[in-house]
Amino acid sequence: MRVILVLLLLATGAAAEQSPADRTVGRPEFAAVRTELLAIVESDQKYREAYNELARIHPVPDAEMRTLTRNMQEADAANLPKLEAILAQHGWLGPDDVGPDASGAFFLVIQHSNLPTQKKYLPAMREAVKAGKARGSSLALLEDRIELHEGRPQIYGSQLRSDGGGALYVQAMIDPDHVDERRAAVGLPPMADYLKRWDLTWDLAAYKARLPDLIAKLSTAVRRPPKPQSP
């Protein structure tokens, strides 16, 4: 089953507008750390961008997909100790410290790590959000992923999965009637706007009718954890 899990906080915007060599962003004493974080972001994203482009092809070329998946896993394994070393020395660095593009590396690497690592750094990310060093929307995505990995419905409806034939659907969530209220509280757009990115329509009634089946699929997802992706 092909899996595409979708993230909102990406290395876009500021990252696209600023050169990795630009040391004027953030605090001068973190210029070298900013450069290292930007390199981590680039490493995290490049194979995922190629993966998601390839996933749009039907049928998906299996050999190429396996290669990209392996490349992503290797990049993730290499990025985590680098990020952990930065965390140990400097703590969680926010946009004011290293710029919003480089600061996004903390979320990306943790989001793309295994469940024990995600849970290990969840409290740190919650504190970073309180301190204005990370986005509430990013925390919501991490919380959704942890919930699904542990066999529980997600909270914010951020995580999508392929049905195996290339069609995407929103994985099981709690209380879909009020999901847009929860999303608004953490800075996420309404489901209808969010799903337009993949040419999907948010049909609440249809989703609720399908929800029991989606919940039943959670045990399968726990046995076969999805590979984290981002556009």
Mean per-residue pLDDT of the chain: 85
**What pLDDT is stored for residue 144 in this prediction?**
98
Containing 160, the helix (H) or strand (E) segment is: strand 160-162
**Angle between helix 100-111 and helix 31-55 axes, rounded to 10 deg:** 60
pLDDT reported for residue 222: 57
Helices 115-130 and 100-111: crossing angle, nearest 10°?
A: 150
pLDDT-based confidence at 221, cuts 50/70/90?
Answer: low
Task: Locate the domains of the chain by residue range.
Answer: 14-149, 160-223
Indicate the pLDDT class of residue 7, thresholds 50, 70 and 90. Answer: very low
CB 106 within 8 A of CB 85: no
Task: Let me know: does 95 contact 128? Beta carbons within 8 Å.
Answer: no
Q: Is the pTM of this model over 0.85?
A: no
